[in-house]
Structure 1
Amino acid sequence: MGSGEPAARRGRPRSEAVRGAVLSAAADLALEGGSAAATVDAIAKRAEVSRTTIYKWWPSAAAIVLEGLLDSVRDSITRPPGSTSVEAVTHHVSALNSILADPAVGPLLRNVIAASPSDPAIERALLDQWITPRRAAVAVTLREAVQSGELPADVAVEVAVDALVSPPYYRLMFGMAPLDEDAVIRLVQTVWQGCRAT
C-alpha cells in the first residue's frame, strides 16, 4: 500500500456513497491480492472515482484500509453492562481475538501493520486509533479491579495488558491458527491468577 500525495481535506464534506465505495474497493483489493494490490490507482479504478478525490481525503491506500477497519470494529471495546471484572477482561480479549481471526478483517490489519513502518501517518493512526484504545480498555478494567480489591495494589497493569492482548496479534502476524473460545478463557484465567499472586 504505497503512500501518495498529501491530502487536502478541505471543502465540502465527503459523500458517504463515495466513501463507502472507496473503503469497499480498498478492502476487496487488499483481500484479493495483499498490500501490493491495494494501490491508490487500483482503488480509484474499482471505486470509479478519481485519484484527486481519493487524495483529497486520504494520504495513502493504507489509510483507507485502516479507516474501513476502524469503522467495522469501533464498538468492540465497550464493556458489557453489569459485567464483572473478569467477564469484562474476557470480553475485551475475546473481541480482539475474534476481530483478528475474522478472514475479512485479520489479513487487512496485517497488511496495514506491515505498511506502517514506511508510512508515519499510518503508524501514528494505528497506534492512536487502534492499539492505544484497545489497551486502555483492558487497563481501565484491571485498575478498577485493583481499586475494588479484586487484585492487589502492586499489579503491573501494563505487563498484564501485554500478556492478555499479545497472543492474538502473535498468531495473526505469524499465520498461526487463532485462539479458540476455550483458549481465550484459559488465557484470561491464567493472567488473572498470576496478577492475584503478585
Structure 2
Amino acid sequence: MGGTQRTSRRGRPRSEAVRGRVLGAAAELALEGGPGAATVEAIAKRAEVSRTTIYRWWPSAAAIVLEGLLESVRESIVRPTGSTTVQALVHHVGALFAILADPATGPLLRNAIAASASDPAIERALLEQWIGPRREAVATTLRAAVRAGELPADTDVRVAVDALVSPPYYRLMFGMAPLDDAAIAALVHTVWRGCRTDQEGGGS
C-alpha cells in the first residue's frame, strides 16, 4: 500500500463505473497479495484506467485500498431494517469483529494500522476511508437514541463509540481471539446500561 500522495484532485466528477472498477481492483489486489501489491500502477492496470485518472481522484494507493475495502463490506455499517438501537449496535460491533477476524482482511488492516505510524498518507486514508465511516455509523445510531429519549440528552456519544469499537482493534493488534456472539452482546449491553445511568430502567 504505497504512501505516494497527491493533494490536488481537480477535474471532472468521478464516473461511478470507473470508481467501481478502481475500488474493486484495489481491494482484490490487496486481499490477494497484501497491501504492497496494491500499487497505483497495479490498480490502474487491473482497472484498465490511467494513472492520471487515479491521481486525479485519490490522494494515495492507501486511500483507494481502504475505500475499496469499505465498499466491499458496506452492508456492515448499514443499520438493519427494523432493528432496535441495541440490536443495531450489536450488528455494528459484531460485523467489525467478523471483518477483523477474517484471514484476509484482518492482516491487511493490521498492516495498515502499523504502517500509519510512519506514513501520513496511510494514516489519513485509514482515518478517512475506514475508521471514520465505521465510527460515524455507530455514532448515528447513538444520536438517534438520544433524540428518541432512549439515552440521556447529555450522553457523550464519542466516549460511547470509543467503548464499542475499540475492543475489536485492540484484539486484532495484540493477536487476541475475537469476542463471540454472547460476549459481543454483553459488551454492547454494558455500554448501553452505562449510558442510561441517569434514566430509570435499562436494556432494550
- Could you tell me the TM-score, scaled by structure 2's length? 0.73
Post-superposition offset of 1:128: 2.5
**Is contact 1:65–1:108 with CA below 8 Å preserved after alignment?**
no
Show CA shifts across 1:76-115 (max 9, x none): 2221122111111111111222222222222222222233
Equivalent residue of 2:73, what SS? Answer: helix
Cα 1:175–1:33 shift into 2, 3 Å: farther
- Alpha-carbon distance in structure 2 between the residues aligned to 1:73 and 1:82: 20
Q: Which runs of 5+ in 1 are unaligned?
A: none
Post-superposition offset of 1:184: 0.9
**Is contact 2:99–2:105 with CA below 8 Å preserved after alignment?**
yes
- Alpha-carbon distance in structure 2 between the residues aligned to 1:159 and 1:70: 23
Equivalent residue of 2:154, what SS? Answer: coil
Cα 1:51–1:188 shift into 2, 3 Å: same
Post-superposition offset of 1:171: 1.0
Post-superposition offset of 1:191: 0.9
Q: Which residue of 1 aligns with 2:120?
A: 120
Q: Which residue of 1 aligns with 2:87?
A: 87
- Alpha-carbon distance in structure 2 between the residues aligned to 1:162 and 1:127: 14
**Is contact 2:117–2:123 with CA below 8 Å preserved after alignment?**
yes
Q: Given the alignment of the two structures, is residue 132 of structure 1 paired with residue 132 of structure 2, yes or no?
A: yes
Cα 1:28–1:157 shift into 2, 3 Å: closer
Cα 1:11–1:91 shift into 2, 3 Å: closer
Q: How does 1:16-31 map to 2 (within 5 A)?
A: 20=21, 27=27, 30-31=30-31
Equivalent residue of 1:81, what SS? Answer: coil
Show CA shifts across 1:7-56 (max 9, x none): 87768977968974x66665566456644555556667888988777656
**Is contact 1:26–1:65 with CA below 8 Å preserved after alignment?**
yes
**Is contact 2:9–2:57 with CA below 8 Å preserved after alignment?**
yes
- Alpha-carbon distance in structure 2 between the residues aligned to 1:69 and 1:147: 32
Q: CA RMSD in A?
A: 3.3
Equivalent residue of 2:127, what SS? Answer: helix
**Is contact 1:31–1:107 with CA below 8 Å preserved after alignment?**
no
Amino acid at match of 1:81: T
Q: Which residue of 1 aligns with 2:152?
A: 152
Cα 1:155–1:36 shift into 2, 3 Å: same
Post-superposition offset of 1:163: 0.5
Question: Mean alpha-carbon deviation: is it higher for 34-43 or for 110-119?
Answer: 34-43
Amino acid at match of 1:93: V
Q: Which residue of 1 aligns with 2:2?
A: 2
Q: Which runs of 5+ in 2 are unaligned?
A: 199-204
Q: Which residue of 1 aligns with 2:172?
A: 172
- Alpha-carbon distance in structure 2 between the residues aligned to 1:11 and 1:160: 39
Q: Which residue of 1 aligns with 2:141?
A: 141
Question: Mean alpha-carbon deviation: is it higher for 33-42 or for 139-148?
Answer: 33-42
Cα 1:173–1:9 shift into 2, 3 Å: farther
Post-superposition offset of 1:190: 1.0
